[in-house]
Structure 1
Amino acid sequence: MQALRPLEGLHVLDLTHVIAGPYATYLLATLGAEVIRIEPLGGDSLRHRSGSDAALRAAGMGTGFQAQGGNKTCLFLDLNQAEGRAEFLDLLADADVLVDNFRPGVMDRMGLSTPTLLARRPDLIHCSLSGYAPEDRRADWPAYDNVIQAASGLMALSGTKDTGPLKSGAPIVDYASGMMMAFSITSALYARAQGTQGGQNLQISMQETAQAMMGSVIADHLATGSQPAAKGNAAGSGMPASGCFETANGTLAIGANEAHQFTALLEVLGISGLMQDPRFADDDARRKHASVLGELLEEALAAHSAEEWEERLNCAGVPAARVRSLPEAVAETRKSGSPFLAGDPGLPTVPLRLNNASPRLARCPGPVGNDGVRFFTRRTAQKGSDR
């Protein structure tokens, strides 16, 4: 399979830190863009505090940093010093895109205001990420993924009455925000290529991104005034035959949302007679008797393991998956031959294939340096340094 590089020739300056912004530029880099990542002296804090391996953290190679640090050239500059700013502006002259996730006003305080940037590169596409939207009273508040999950209402949809609100096990708002940034940047590039726009300023907020991921729930609340309850492992559809169910061995997620899927589910489980029961004759009836239906489904599912039911249900056209541990799921992806986690160390790339070509991890991220500080100049960048 060929390497997919549709953004080859695009020059990106990356002033981001932690996860969301670096993930956006990682997507661009993995699709062929040249990304120069500018870190503070000592490196991004995520190098030193992410992941479960203390030795990697001490070396400035925390796994959270590694996950979206590849395919980039890293430079270490102090933008609070005139020399660092001069170096940055020199690089900016050749950049198509600038990406940052500072709080509002930080760039101005560093002497890198919008007029200064556009004076150096008039057709620059500048994409900024913040925790909250510019119009929000919290616009200048700091934010992390877990904080935005709480503030956006997303956390309250997770968990159960017993557990209370639960955050997602992965920083999904960070990654969704990074995707939104990359999407916005490529949209702006298209507009610039069409000649309809020149220099552009893009602003993405984590808060709005989190709520965009809850579009169906928010739409229902606005239309009906309902207070959504914590959903636990129930499917977003609200259909009682969709959710997580216990089997003889393992938990099975089932998505029987449509009438034909529900019929097929009952047939595979050997309880098709329930279709004649008025409690389960249609969607409304099944919703009213969801608890009883769930008990009957689990009683039938107890006959076999989740692994066996997964195979049988999917073959019958009913979406189902055994709940896997992360190591199991990752091992299956790598065993499948997919290029997404291919190579060593097998970091995630971009889940995209176009005309049988896919993005590749061409260069893994490197450490800051033995002394924890390394200063790069334009001259070393021109020599092709990747450290």
Structure 2
Amino acid sequence: MARRPTARRFWSRSTAWTAALAVTLLFLSACTGSGTSPPTGQPGGSPEQGGPGQPTVAGRIDGLQLPWSTVYLPDGTAVISERDTALLRTVSGGQLGTLGKMPGVVPGGEGGLLGLALSPHFATDRYLYAYFTAATDNRIARMRLEERAGRLELGPPVPVFTGIPKAGTHNGGRIRFGPDGFLYVGTGDSRRPEQPQDRTALGGKILRLTAEGRPAPGNPFGENPVYSLGHRNVQGLAWDSAGRLWASEFGPDVNDELNLIVPGGNYGWPDVTGAPHRAGFLDAKVVWPSTAESSPSGLEIVGNTAYLGALRGQRLWAVPLNGESAGAPVSYFTGEYGRIRNVSKAPGGRLWLLTNDQNPDFVLILNLPG
């Protein structure tokens, strides 16, 4: 039986200027190698104090290897990508299966088979989209999922967007279709510091594409796929009930971020991180000064709460949202289930978490508070 999770409140941008000074000092100490400072903010936290309610464990599904992303077919079948094996796994009726292996994937470091997205018109076009690391780049391909004799079959992948820079780390990889029907793509800076501030480069961006991989109409820089810039490594994308886009992003040694994304917004990397109130850059709505507490990857929004999976932090973060503002995060399951790569809302309203580096990894299924 799972140990009762603990909750903890944390630091957000709404904290006063004294906290901003504390963050500056944390940044300086990290740069000088003096170790990790404790987080600012008040301990404790409860739903009565404005935090979200506590999720509870409903079950788990074992047998995965470095799973990265989950999508759900109309019949409730889950499709899960495995980064290094390049396998597409399925979960149906609580049973783990294998759909097939994605050809052309060249795993290495943080690269491999990463994000998945279902076409908004899946019922008619049957397209599954995948973001993956190939021999020369990161790219997006789509393939048909056909059902023959009661069995799903994976069609050949057709590239729709190529040329995203690759590296051993900072490959980004999250893809999701937005409420507007366009495909949003989180990319990493691939350790090329000149990329995030360059509007003509694909690294360190959130891209907005048509289903065929062209720049979406209405993009802020004309016939350009770039939707926002100044990012370091975006691995979480989700929309709130009003259609606002939020993104989770890894900081360097400090300042992991939850950002509210606006068209054409510049989020500062590599010039700034966090919420420094620097002219020309947009501040993060939530900042985790210590990346050991977070390193957020997957992101899902349910109701008025953003849920983030923490890799180094080995926990689930829940952030109450109020319009364009974010409240103080609360953490659950700290250290109980290892590194959390992805968070997704499954049919029926449950939350699925994907672990990483548990050998084997698993799906952790949560009931959310009513």
Bin for the TM-score computed over the shorter chain: under 0.3
Q: Please say which structure displays the higher CA radius of gyration.
A: 1
Of Structure 1 and Structure 2, the greater strand share is in 2
**Which protein has greater RCO, CA pairs closer than 8 Å, 6+ apart?**
1
